[in-house]
Structure 1
Amino acid sequence: MRINIKLAAGFPLSRLESTFHGIETTRDENNTHTVRLTKSEVTADRDFELTWSPVPGNEPHAALFSEQWAGDNYSLMMVIPPHQEGQGGALPREMVFVVDTSGSMHGASMGQAKAALKMALSRLAPDDRFNIIQFNSSTQALFGRAVGASPRNLARAEDYVDSLTASGGTEMLPALRRALTGEKELDRLRQVVFMTDGSVGNEAQLFEVIEQKLGASRLFTVGIGSAPNSFFMTRAARLGRGSFTYIGKVSEVRSKMKALFNKLESPVLADVEIDWGEDVQVDMWPRRIPDLYMGEPLVLAVKGEVDGKTVVIRGRSGDKPWQQRVTLHGGGSRGGIRLLWARKKIADLMDQKARGRTEDEVRHEVLVVALGHKLVSKYTSLVAVDKTPSRPLDQALIGKNVPVQLPKGWSAEKVFGSMPQTATPALLNLLLGVLAMIGSWMVSVFGKRNRKNVADEVRHLNGEMYR
């Protein structure tokens, strides 16, 4: 695997790091950072994660990257709210922790999940309520419903976490339904933290359940392991109006979970709206702006003339109104902005299927965008045909098994299963079964031959009698 990145954030950075790979960075006079791997080639057995943050300040950071294409203006707008402690009033919460204990979580992933759960329990306030749900081939909850975070209940929860083991399949749907089912109390924030490697194949069905059952809850996904299903967890968090956190190694559980719970404990900026002004016509995606948490950026893709415009961002922090006026500039002109706008629009259109729109309606609108911008989607694909011979024509094809690179920390035995390695007669039983099948086939064949011979003899005798 080789990686070469150019990062133009639009404002000064205080931090630029790679979590799992060694990197080298340089910065030019335009404040553009070039990032390369320290090693020329590395094994592709885990995700590459690049994290960065702006220099903190009391004013909102804003950047606007623009592109003109086919007579239209496209912009990528990023606004980071100012760092202000103590906005709004903190409310007691109902926390539902859902943990994946399927076979793919065996090893380091299970250790990370346990450490994350214990940290989450330690951050609960006395007025909070909580529950723990685990799932593999079946779903099990620690309590019948959310209970108070009393010392006795927390001690019981820690023992429960210690007893968790990874085995079985990944039946996520019942666990997701159970976690999102529940009436939100007016004086509480209901937050669901879902810890998994996302090893599932029914994403569309899961997205529909999130859209239908979310209500006033908020869903926060935590990716566990070296190669989680980032597509599923990112989109699930977007539909759940939460955020996605990735934990790739045990040593970062504390820092990543601390950052997540600092956000969850901070007042929510909900009901976010953008006032573009009466004279500005824009096509903005995503249409439904997610809740924001302290230090989290607001990223919007816009089609329309907005460079240099002043917009008003409004929302609600706790029980108090929040408002910021921001002038959009600073990023300059960049190629590819139209493609980012198109991808965000396609992603939002695909989400609308979970909200009740028909397949035909969504397909028509996606095709218009995807074909117009030459993008791959569920309904469009790009096919490349290479006619260069890869072997001499006089040589026959040879088939063989190709080894698969498992993600770092995965156990093939736990994920795919294996023959028992203990002192059991499994191999003997398998051999006897094969021999029995061969014997049955032989009896069937020779039985048919014997019956045919007997019939021939009878016909011969009948002929002699009437001759």
Structure 2
Amino acid sequence: MNHCGLLTVQKEPVPLKSIEVELEVRDHVATVVSTLLYQNKEDKPLEAVFVFPLPGDAAVCHFSAKIGQTQIVAEVKEKQQAREKYDDALSSGQQAFLLEESDQSPDIFSLSVGSMPPGESASIRLEYVTELAVQADDGLRFCLPAVLNPRYQPKGSEGGSLQVTSVPASLVPYSLSFSAQVFSPRPVSKVESSCSLDPLQYLNTEQTQATVKLTAGHKFDRDVELLIYYKDAHQPTAVVEAGQTSAKPGTLMGDPVVMLSLYPEFPQAVMSSVDSCGEFVFLIDRSGSMSCPMDNSNPQLTRIGSARDTLLLLLKSLPMGCYFNIYSFGSRYEHIFPKSVEYSEKTMEEALKKVENMGADLGGTEILQPLKHIYSQPCIPSQPRQLFVFTDGEVGNTKEVINLVRENSGSHRCFSFGIGEGASSVLINGLAKEGGGHAQFITGTDRMQPKVMQSLRFSLQPTVVDISVTWDLPKGVSVTVLSPPITTIFQGQRSLIYAQLTGQSPEAAEGCVTVKYSLAGHPSHNQLHFSLKPAEDTGLTVHRLAARTLIRSLEMEERERRGQQDGGVKKKVVELSVQSGVSSSFTAFIAVNKGDGEAIQGLLLRRNVPAPRLMKSCFMPLMAQCRTHSDYSGGTVKVTEPKQPRRDSFLQLVSLQKASGCWLLEPHLAAVLGKTSEEVEIPKPAEVKEEVWATILALIWLHGFKLDVQDEWQLLAMKAASWLRAQKAPCVTECVEAGNALLGCEVQKDSLGI
């Protein structure tokens, strides 16, 4: 079991005093500089170890330490060599600093600060670069993870347990200051955060440069999430970055590198006819921590409660004729049907009854076994499999899970949702990337439903096949693509490509890249022309992200070839990591302060610096020591969940819709509309069927009163409109007018899609 909540600030001095973070965002790439201040207030030499999370796709590219006036810049070395050098330095009384990626998960790092003499301070600077993911509402998401929840280690899985010291976030003794600068080719429209911000300040009249800070006094007791919004966010862009002058031409760091950001647009004719088939498999986390609140300001709304409401929306939005099943997992897994069943009123109602009784009562987080079971089920002909995974994502066997999804990527698309703070970005992003789907994160006051419905719309888009990327460059310039091949394309979703450009180009030269693909039998393509002139002031950000992309691909290749006695791939990773100065699973950053040659005297004490852990206020006090006993023991412990609030009128209306898309004229519907049964029945034109009238009223109510959450009901409204059109009902215009009069709305018939 992980150490969590066992070593607290009351029992042991904590040498980490403060963290200062400076964020610089250029378009959709972020550079993050963290400065950590350590101080040894004890009377003996100290070794401090701090285990902390970083974004899963971050490229750590600089690590240095300042002791007094001495600055020591770390080197990247092969991991075992770096560890030996660190141990040698400590045993000879020298100061040393070691930064390394966890063997179990690339989003966890450990920082060892060795041999700090009594009374001395050390300032450590850590820099990384990362891409910013595009959210459902086109915001770019940056997350500074604060919460390091212990990772559940399934029985018999690879690798040892991460040794994490964590304390309740309210007791974390170090402070955080955070500031961000944003530079964009397009105006910055707004910046939002899960934490309190000072007002956004623009640095120029075009509003393409801005700065923002966290309000002073912020306790680093939760993840810091920023959402950055640009005008015209879906414009394709290209950035060419000059190579490092000191690096040899022909190498990755010596040549220019281009980063392309593409947003393919599908022909309207194809998009208007979404697939009405598919096998939809929903996999829901029911481990103990899913009974925690989505947001501490509203303890009534739990993660599992939000998942139940989301499943209601999903089941009502599925097209007739498709197939579906629902799995849930903890220390064991369950399924509603032995195999996927055809979607009908009967199967939908049966599933909803079981969903309503789902609690966070299945223990740990064993996600591997249910995935294996799902993949063992034969695919249904002409029903493409779409897998939706909902989890708060804290597992120790992340690599095994992602490998399994990759091995089965030819049979399905995987859409993943990270729920709550501390969800592993490596797991959530890895599931979607390897499964050819889309990843979403739901934290704080986010509503889960709009993000999930966007992914459902993606899953209903036809699968894109025969994807190819072709380059047209001036004579004398060649290209080496560093990114893995594009395997999936969704309407409006960003695709990033990194490529190395070798050779000389004329001053005003242009390049062109074309993405070709086949969509529902139609050949399509999107094209981007770009200048080959290098951009100014990019540092080596693009090169480092490109190196990180290539390193991750090679690491995956190494895992696939494990046991073949060929160290060639590992050697390539180490060489590339050392050349680019970017971290990898096979390397580490090491810095040694040789100082004045005097050895540090005295017995070396080891201190584990606690990482923040969210207080699980939803559990009984004893269980707040760790995530929950049930999450770790492998047993099933019933956790009392707060009583769920009464469903709002919108979800009540959704729950009344039939699988076919229609509503029935019944007292429950009248109550949701705020009327009596008699008030609803009287205005109905005589020759119109009750279901037609009820369905038109429901659609008018949605358009008239719930337009702000249209993303959530758009698909079920399309299903209702399709059902209405199939009825060829008389007096539809008269019904819409009567419905508007009854409900006090002014909704146009055309906007209802009928």
TM-score, normalised on structure 2?
0.50
- Conserved? CA contact 1:132–1:143, under 8 Å: yes
Alignment of 1:81 with 2:269, yes or no, is no
Alignment of 1:90 with 2:274, yes or no, is yes
Give 2:530's aligned amino acid.
L
Residue 372 of structure 1 and its aligned partner are, at CA, apart by 0.7
Per the alignment, residue 62 of structure 1 pairs with: 237
CA distance in 2 between partners of 1:320 and 1:54 (Å): 32
- Conserved? CA contact 2:203–2:211, under 8 Å: no
Give 1:49's aligned amino acid.
E
Give secondary structure in 2 for the equivalent of 1:316: strand
Distance 1:228 1:44, change over 3 A: farther
Comparing 407-416 with 227-236, which one deviates more in the overlay? Answer: 407-416
- Conserved? CA contact 1:8–1:31, under 8 Å: no
- Conserved? CA contact 1:18–1:48, under 8 Å: no
Deviations 1:106-165 (A, max 9, x none): 222222322332222222111221111111111111111111221221222222222222
Q: 1:323 aligns with which of 513, 517, 525?
A: 525
Distance 1:345 1:17, change over 3 A: same
Q: 1:20 aligns with which of 194, 198, 202?
A: 194
- Conserved? CA contact 1:5–1:35, under 8 Å: no
Map 1:297-376 → 2, pairs under 5 A = 297-304=494-501, 308-329=510-531, 332-333=535-536, 334-335=538-539, 336-353=541-558, 355-356=560-561, 360-376=567-583
CA distance in 2 between partners of 1:181 and 1:287 (Å): 27
Map 1:14-413 → 2, pairs under 5 A = 16-23=190-197, 24-29=199-204, 32-52=208-228, 55-56=231-232, 61-69=236-244, 70=247, 71=249, 72-82=255-265, 85-87=268-270, 89-91=273-275, 92-108=277-293, 109-167=303-361, 168-185=363-380, 187-249=382-444, 251-277=446-472, 280-304=477-501, 308-329=510-531, 332-333=535-536, 334-335=538-539, 336-353=541-558, 355-356=560-561, 360-385=567-592, 405-407=612-614, 411=619, 412-413=623-624
CA distance in 1 between partners of 2:325 and 2:286 (Å): 16
- Conserved? CA contact 1:121–1:154, under 8 Å: yes
Deviations 1:398-437 (A, max 9, x none): 899976532365754472429xxxxxxxxxxxxxxxxxxx
Residue 302 of structure 1 and its aligned partner are, at CA, apart by 1.3
CA distance in 2 between partners of 1:402 and 1:14 (Å): 38
CA distance in 2 between partners of 1:262 and 1:14 (Å): 27
Per the alignment, residue 181 of structure 2 pairs with: none
CA RMSD of aligned residues (A): 3.2
More helix, by proportion = 1
Comparing 244-253 with 221-230, which one deviates more in the overlay? Answer: 244-253
Give secondary structure in 2 for the equivalent of 1:348: helix
CA distance in 2 between partners of 1:164 and 1:331 (Å): 55
Residue 11 of structure 1 and its aligned partner are, at CA, apart by 4.0
TM-score, normalised on structure 1?
0.78
Residue 65 of structure 1 and its aligned partner are, at CA, apart by 4.0
Give 1:407's aligned amino acid.
L
- Conserved? CA contact 1:180–1:192, under 8 Å: no
CA distance in 2 between partners of 1:142 and 1:250 (Å): 30
CA distance in 2 between partners of 1:316 and 1:61 (Å): 20
Residue 181 of structure 1 and its aligned partner are, at CA, apart by 3.3
Comparing 215-224 with 281-290, which one deviates more in the overlay? Answer: 281-290
Distance 1:155 1:324, change over 3 A: same
Distance 1:312 1:181, change over 3 A: same
Distance 1:32 1:49, change over 3 A: same
Comparing 122-131 with 43-52, which one deviates more in the overlay? Answer: 43-52
Per the alignment, residue 451 of structure 1 pairs with: none
Give 1:36's aligned amino acid.
V
Distance 1:396 1:60, change over 3 A: closer
Residue 48 of structure 1 and its aligned partner are, at CA, apart by 3.3
Higher CA-based Rg: 1
Give 2:316's aligned amino acid.
S
CA distance in 2 between partners of 1:14 and 1:124 (Å): 37
Give 1:151's aligned amino acid.
E
Distance 1:162 1:45, change over 3 A: farther
Give 2:526's aligned amino acid.
Q
CA distance in 1 between partners of 2:500 and 2:454 (Å): 33
Distance 1:20 1:325, change over 3 A: same
Distance 1:151 1:236, change over 3 A: same
Give 2:424's aligned amino acid.
N
Residue 73 of structure 1 and its aligned partner are, at CA, apart by 0.8
Identity among equivalent positions (%) equals 21
Give 1:209's aligned amino acid.
L
Give 1:66's aligned amino acid.
E
Q: Structure 1: state its 5+ residue gaps.
A: 419-467
- Conserved? CA contact 1:225–1:409, under 8 Å: no
Comparing 265-274 with 221-230, which one deviates more in the overlay? Answer: 265-274
Give secondary structure in 1 for the equivalent of 2:467: strand
CA distance in 2 between partners of 1:311 and 1:212 (Å): 30
Give secondary structure in 1 for the equivalent of 2:429: helix
- Conserved? CA contact 1:100–1:197, under 8 Å: yes
Distance 1:4 1:397, change over 3 A: closer
Give 1:134's aligned amino acid.
S
Distance 1:349 1:107, change over 3 A: same
Give 2:195's aligned amino acid.
H
Distance 1:325 1:82, change over 3 A: same
Per the alignment, residue 415 of structure 1 pairs with: 627
Residue 99 of structure 1 and its aligned partner are, at CA, apart by 0.9
